[in-house]
Amino acid sequence: MNLSNMWIRGRGMLVASVFLVSAWALLAQEAYNEPWRPQFHFTPPKNFMNDPNGLVYYKGEYHLFYQYNPQGAEWGHMSWGHAVSTDMLHWKNLPLAIPEEPGQYMIYSGSAVVDWHNASGLCASTDTADPSCLIAIYTAAGARVQRQHLAFSNDRGRTWTNYPGNPVADLKQPDFRDPKVFWYESEKKWVMVAVLADARKAVFFDSRDLKKWTFSGSFETGGNDKGQWECPDLFELAVDGDPKNKKWVLIVNRNPGAPAGGTGTRYFVGSFEGAHFLNETPAGQELWADYGKDFYATNSFSDIPPKDGRRIWIGWISNWQYANREPTLIWRGGQSLPRELGLTQFPDGIRLVQKPIGEAKSLRERELLQLSNVSIPMAMQAMHLANVRGETLEIEAELAPRAAREIGFRLRKGGTEETVLGITAEDKQVFVDRTRSGQVAFAPEFPGRHKAKLRQSSHVKLHIFLDRSSVEIFVNDGEVVLTDRIYPSPGSDGIELYSNEGRGKVLSLSIWKLGSIWH
């Protein structure tokens, strides 16, 4: 081959590779831009995702593992998918972390912890100052039995090895699953809380080395409850931020039986002494973390540094009633915004409160509007003049219904489509009505109105995160939260305020356009 030929070939290759690189960049940009593709919530590039798993912070990275079907957009072949982030918002997709063992078992939900001092003996580090590694404990779900398995990673979660001594916990039960492991400082031991799903029982185990687990106790509510308990969690939180007044919260995800129907997240407040959870929530009081229809299978982060000290969780934004039928095609299932948890003492008891993590402010791309002390018609006019609309918005509002029976927002409005977020003053309720929110007919359980009781409705604070196919609403400093998926037409991006005869007052209103975490 002569030189000029080589040059032409070389140039051809260069042109071809420039073309390929730009086509790839275009495709990458196109990806995560489909209709309904959440712009600031995590979704996998393709295929089915359900529960968040193994949330852990380690060496500057937040890890999100998740229930994943690598082969299709419906539930099956469950494995652990993986993404990492430095702020819990901007995620980088990584290869599959733990694949199913075909013909033997699938990899169901579970948790991950940092084994700081190599208690497991599985950490390979030769650095005496930092002998740590990551340990995951998940359910190996076989056809007839579910057992807890351990896997370890010595390369910051990039690759995982199943422990040869698996299972590490086995009750010879078909529905023993979803282990959540945490370090119990006062007895210097690891605790695992898992469920016997059909018996609606939380079971506790403890361990010194993460490999040998001993059954230590259980918790159930009795009664003639139906359905399953799934994905438990157990953590301690300060009441009203007072470190001298701490309570334990036992989370059980409930399938079905949630306030909006289908699956949802229930909790109990009490104390925990290493083996027994003592429930202090009075019998007959059912406490729920979210009143929308799409918040389930929560998992809280392990190993957030003590100087940060936050308890942060993520939930899967779907519902088992229709998770396999949601109208997205390439992927199905999304994760909620990470939320910081707290406990607040109210006259009627101690309650879980949630707020979006402070990092979420970094999603704000542009302020579209800011007003205070105006009437509803004035606010409407200002919104109209500023041409406030969009598929990805953050809204902070304080509304006083005064003489209005009902006051609120019409979100994702266009033609006959709207998602209504309203306050009904007299019965002190907040609701989301998604019956006309766009595509609703893919499942009979999807359309509906989801409501929750507020302690007061005279001055209602709303913090709303609107993404291309979801709405998350934190009401009155997170004492009530509603999370709902919606599937509006792409052009339905209007937003309005409403009230009866324009009554009521907008005490304050700020609206931001949020940017995309993918582009």
The residues binding ligand FRU (CB under 6 A) are 50-51, 67, 78, 108-109, 139, 177-178, 230-231, 297
Give CA separation, 123 vs 156, 162, 210, 302, 500, in Å: 11, 13, 12, 18, 64
- CB-nearer residue toward ligand FRU: 297 or 317: 297
Minimum CB separation of residue 288 from ligand FRU in Å reads 16
Structure tokens at 138: 């998940």
- CB-nearer residue toward ligand FRU: 39 or 255: 255
Strand 264-272 with 242-255, pairing: antiparallel
Listed in sequence order, the residues at least 6 apart from 372 whose beta carbon sits closer than 8 Å to its beta carbon are: 506, 507, 508, 509
User: Is 51 one of the catalytic residues?
Assistant: yes
Q: Position of tokens 């006083």?
A: 400
Minimum CB separation of residue 237 from ligand FRU in Å reads 23
Can you say how many angstroms the Cα of residue 309 is from the centroid of all Cα atoms in its chain? 19
Minimum CB separation of residue 230 from ligand FRU in Å reads 4
Listed in sequence order, the residues at least 6 apart from 266 whose beta carbon sits closer than 8 Å to its beta carbon are: 251, 252, 253, 254, 258, 286, 287, 288, 289
Minimum CB separation of residue 37 from ligand FRU in Å reads 22
- CB-nearer residue toward ligand FRU: 297 or 473: 297
CB 49 within 8 A of CB 334: yes
3-state SS, residue 17 = helix
- CB-nearer residue toward ligand FRU: 201 or 410: 201
Burial of 244 (0-12, 13-18, 19+ CB in 10 A): exposed
Nearest Cα neighbor of 260 from 445, 81, 101 is 445
Identified catalytic residue from 51, 290, 303, 493: 51
- CB-nearer residue toward ligand FRU: 67 or 469: 67
Minimum CB separation of residue 72 from ligand FRU in Å reads 14
Catalytic positions, written as ranges:
51
